[in-house]
């Protein structure tokens, strides 16, 4: 089947939603469209004709082709996208309560889903770039969705500025590669010869990947992007869009390995992981903590890629989808019930047992506890790093931090509420709509069941299964357990308050943990630098323009000066008359 067909229902749904606007049927139409797309995606499993190309236009004897591919790895991402979309849209039915927003919201969400699907099935740079750009714009619209708030548009601006850099880097890289190979197709570009232009192109692609996947130093747009509605965070910023960079590098990994350019990937991955883990530990905002956690997850994926362990990266890639989406949806439930996004002002998350169990599953999966799917993902990466001791050591520390922050995240909102508001909060949890709960339960189930993919996926993709080091798994488990105990002690036990007081004495030690502030300050400094340059150039422009006017006024002055020769005196004229003749005689007499 022709690959882009899978996008069609989503697009139809998008425009239908826009047309239907604030009617009640909008959300159901959107959901239906996404389900149809998922069905189509499923039907494409096992398709024979995997590489499909469309000739778009030709110039100077060269064809510009839109490449599509249904190779296993693309199929995988497509299924993930097409599968998560209905879950998120279903969740949205319960979360987005204002009918006036529906038309715009479902339009933008389905447009995003279509772009992500397009991205997934792209077999070449041109197609991928189109999807890439669309992802950026839809993300901008969705982050800034509630433009009545002050913070949302600001966050959207930050996101789009960062992503724009990546967009243009990718554009440049795409064209450089085309110049060398006269093709955009990934298959053709695999056989890359060393050249300066190719190195530049690959570096630019890395930059693009890092901007999209919120890696250092482009990571700060992601936490701010949490200003968007929670379903948006669950969809774009945990399970799909941010992983686009990882996906792209994964497809091109052999080339990077051949060029010896794996080190930057590894390095950036490590830095980002550390940043993610440390900032998540000190974040007090429910969704921001998860955002930093996502940065950490993505960093781990890049570490795996940097170690040329494609299998490990893909394993984590798959598993992270489920627990992250799950945790974000949970976060949405907590936020709705407590009417705040601050962790310390949220309570009673344990009051609604099923929801709490689902969140525990998500948390344990993230921490990498056997036998949940997250275990296979995280351990695959750690296993791959065993051969590089330095990396392994860092990952062990990160493992500890992960445990600390995620249990903290779980336990703080689980506290008992003060008596005056307890009934309201508990009632809030009960009132969480069924439309929100069902996707949460489904994802929890998947988070458990997806462990099976550890066995199935590598075979499907045709790569070797990632090794899991048992010793390392044991160490990780021990650390997680320790983290659980520590968190419980600090946040949930009866001695929580004393523990908190004790911790406050060591507050200054935690400064490095707030390192995202430095990154933000760097952004502001860069923006200020641009602003300063702009100021100088603008002043120059203004000054130069006023100089130009001087020319015209001096012409007039010249005129005034010359006109004084016109004295009105006849004898003067006569004298000049004669003088003129004399002058002419002299001048031309000399010739």
Distance in angstroms (rounded) separating the CA atoms of residues 368 and 463: 22
Choose one: 366-374, 475-483, 497-505, 555-563; the region binding another protein (CB under 8 A).
Answer: 555-563
Beta-carbon contacts of residue 515 (< 8 Å; ≥ 6 apart):
275, 278, 279
Least Cβ distance, residue 111 to another protein (angstroms): 12
Q: For every residue of 504-550, which 3-state class applies, written as one string?
A: HHCHHHHHHHHCHHHHHHHHHHHHHHHHHHHHHHHHHHHHHHHHHHH
Structural contact between residues 67 and 53, judged by C-beta atoms closer than 8 angstroms: yes
Choose one: 319-327, 398-406, 439-447, 562-570; the region binding another protein (CB under 8 A).
Answer: 562-570
Q: Is 543 in the site for another protein (CB under 8 A)?
A: no
Least Cβ distance, residue 176 to another protein (angstroms): 6
Whose Cβ is closer to another protein: residue 42's or residue 168's? 168
Q: Is 172 in the site for another protein (CB under 8 A)?
A: yes
Q: Is 157 in the site for another protein (CB under 8 A)?
A: yes
The residue among 258, 253, 257, 241 whose CA lies nearest residue 311 is: 253
What are the DSSP E strand ranges found in 304-408? none
Whose Cβ is closer to another protein: residue 2's or residue 56's? 56
Least Cβ distance, residue 226 to another protein (angstroms): 17
Least Cβ distance, residue 230 to another protein (angstroms): 20
Number of shown-chain residues binding another protein (CB under 8 A): 75
Beta-carbon contacts of residue 574 (< 8 Å; ≥ 6 apart):
none
Distance in angstroms (rounded) separating the CA atoms of residues 144 and 152: 5
Choose one: 55-63, 309-317, 411-419, 423-431; the region binding another protein (CB under 8 A).
Answer: 55-63
Tokens of 447: 């988070």
Least Cβ distance, residue 228 to another protein (angstroms): 13
Q: Is 175 in the site for another protein (CB under 8 A)?
A: yes
Whose Cβ is closer to another protein: residue 21's or residue 72's? 21
Structural contact between residues 534 and 542, judged by C-beta atoms closer than 8 angstroms: no
Q: Is 194 in the site for another protein (CB under 8 A)?
A: no
Distance in angstroms (rounded) separating the CA atoms of residues 92 and 145: 14
Least Cβ distance, residue 128 to another protein (angstroms): 11
DSSP, collapsed to helix, strand or coil, labels residue 342 as strand
Choose one: 152-160, 272-280, 405-413, 513-521; the region binding another protein (CB under 8 A).
Answer: 152-160
Among 82, 176, 270, 319, binds another protein (CB under 8 A): 176
What do you get for the CA distance between the two ends of the chain, in Å?
92
Angle value at C-alpha 13, between 12 and 14, nearest 5 degrees = 90
Q: Is 558 in the site for another protein (CB under 8 A)?
A: yes
Number of Cβ within a 10 Å radius of residue 564: 7
Beta-carbon contacts of residue 584 (< 8 Å; ≥ 6 apart):
none
Beta-carbon contacts of residue 518 (< 8 Å; ≥ 6 apart):
none
Among 56, 344, 514, 518, binds another protein (CB under 8 A): 56
Structural contact between residues 492 and 193, judged by C-beta atoms closer than 8 angstroms: no
The 121-150 site mask, x for binding another protein (CB under 8 A), equals --------xx--xx--x--x---x--xx-x
Report, in this order, helix, strand and coil percent for the chain, each rounded to 5.
80, 5, 20
Distance in angstroms (rounded) separating the CA atoms of residues 369 and 361: 9
Q: Is 196 in the site for another protein (CB under 8 A)?
A: yes
Q: Is 15 in the site for another protein (CB under 8 A)?
A: no
Among 14, 75, 156, 234, binds another protein (CB under 8 A): 156
Q: Is 562 in the site for another protein (CB under 8 A)?
A: yes
Looking at residues 500 to 539 of the shown chain, list those that interact with another protein (rule: CB under 8 A): 530-531, 533-535, 537-538
Q: Is 171 in the site for another protein (CB under 8 A)?
A: yes
Least Cβ distance, residue 526 to another protein (angstroms): 12
Distance in angstroms (rounded) separating the CA atoms of residues 200 and 185: 18
Looking at residues 57 to 96 of the shown chain, list those that interact with another protein (rule: CB under 8 A): 57-60, 64
Looking at residues 563 to 582 of the shown chain, list those that interact with another protein (rule: CB under 8 A): 563, 565-566, 568, 570, 572-574, 576-581
Tokens of 553: 């006024």
Whose Cβ is closer to another protein: residue 10's or residue 93's? 10
Least Cβ distance, residue 544 to another protein (angstroms): 7
Least Cβ distance, residue 417 to another protein (angstroms): 32
Whose Cβ is closer to another protein: residue 49's or residue 562's? 562
For residue 65, whether the previous peptide bond is cis, meaning omega lies within 30 degrees of 0, is no
Least Cβ distance, residue 26 to another protein (angstroms): 17
Looking at residues 210 to 269 of the shown chain, list those that interact with another protein (rule: CB under 8 A): none
Structural contact between residues 179 and 116, judged by C-beta atoms closer than 8 angstroms: no
Whose Cβ is closer to another protein: residue 43's or residue 62's? 62
Whose Cβ is closer to another protein: residue 170's or residue 372's? 170
């Amino acid at each position: 089947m022709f690959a882009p067909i899978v996008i069609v229902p989503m697009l139809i749904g998008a425009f239908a939603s826009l047309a239907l606007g604030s009617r009640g049927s909008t959300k159901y139409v959107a959901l239906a469209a996404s389900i149809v797309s998922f069905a189509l995606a499923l039907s494409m499993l096992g398709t024979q004709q995997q590489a499909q190309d469309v000739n778009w236009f030709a110039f100077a004897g060269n064809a510009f082709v839109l490449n599509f591919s249904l190779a296993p790895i693309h199929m995988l991402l497509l299924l993930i996208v097409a599968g998560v979309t209905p879950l998120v849209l279903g969740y949205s039915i319960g979360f987005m309560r204002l009918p006036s927003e529906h038309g715009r919201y479902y339009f933008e969400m389905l447009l995003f889903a279509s772009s992500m699907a397009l991205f997934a099935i792209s077999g070449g740079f041109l197609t991928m770039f189109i999807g890439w750009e669309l992802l950026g714009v839809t993300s901008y619209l969705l982050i800034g969705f509630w433009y009545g708030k002050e913070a949302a548009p600001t966050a959207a601006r930050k996101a789009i500025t960062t992503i724009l850099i990546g967009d243009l880097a990718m554009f440049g890289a795409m064209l450089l590669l085309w110049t060398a190979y006269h093709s955009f197709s990934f298959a053709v570009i695999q056989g890359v010869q060393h050249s300066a232009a190719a190195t530049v192109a690959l570096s630019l692609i890395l930059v693009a990947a890092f901007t999209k996947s919120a890696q250092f130093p482009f990571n700060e747009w992601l936490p701010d992007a949490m200003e968007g509605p929670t379903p948006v965070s669950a969809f774009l910023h945990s399970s799909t869009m941010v992983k686009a960079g990882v996906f792209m590098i994964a497809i091109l990994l052999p080339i990077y390995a051949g060029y010896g350019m794996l080190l930057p990937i590894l390095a950036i991955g490590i830095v980002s992981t550390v940043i993610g883990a440390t900032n998540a530990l000190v974040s007090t905002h429910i969704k921001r903590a998860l955002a930093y956690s996502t940065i950490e997850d993505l960093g781990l994926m890049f570490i795996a890629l940097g170690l040329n362990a494609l299998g490990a990266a893909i394993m984590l890639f798959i598993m992270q989808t489920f627990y992250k989406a799950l945790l974000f949806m949970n976060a949405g439930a907590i936020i709705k019930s407590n009417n705040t996004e601050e962790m310390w002002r949220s309570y009673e998350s344990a009051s609604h047992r099923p929801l709490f169990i689902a969140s525990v599953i998500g948390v344990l999966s993230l921490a990498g506890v056997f036998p949940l799917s997250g275990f296979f993902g995280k351990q695959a990466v750690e296993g791959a790093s065993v051969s590089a001791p330095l990396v392994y050591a860092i990952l062990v520390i990160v493992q500890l931090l992960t445990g600390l922050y995620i249990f903290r995240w779980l336990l703080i909102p689980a506290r008992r509420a003060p008596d005056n508001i307890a009934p309201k909060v508990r009632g809030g949890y009960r009132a969480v709509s069924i439309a929100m709960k069902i996707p949460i339960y489904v994802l929890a189930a998947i988070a458990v069941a997806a462990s099976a993919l550890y066995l199935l996926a590598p075979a499907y993709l045709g790569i070797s299964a990632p090794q899991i080091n048992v010793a390392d798994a044991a160490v990780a488990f021990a650390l997680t357990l320790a983290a659980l105990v520590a968190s419980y002690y600090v946040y949930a036990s009866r001695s929580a308050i004393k523990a908190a007081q004790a911790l406050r004495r060591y507050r200054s030690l935690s400064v490095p943990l707030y390192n995202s502030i430095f990154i933000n300050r760097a952004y502001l400094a860069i923006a200020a630098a641009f602003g300063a340059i702009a100021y100088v150039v603008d002043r120059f422009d203004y000054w130069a323009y006023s100089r130009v006017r001087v020319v015209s006024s001096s012409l007039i002055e010249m005129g005034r000066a010359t006109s004084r020769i016109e004295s009105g005196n006849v004898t003067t004229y006569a004298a000049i008359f004669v003088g003129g003749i004399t002058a002419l005689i002299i001048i031309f007499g000399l010739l």
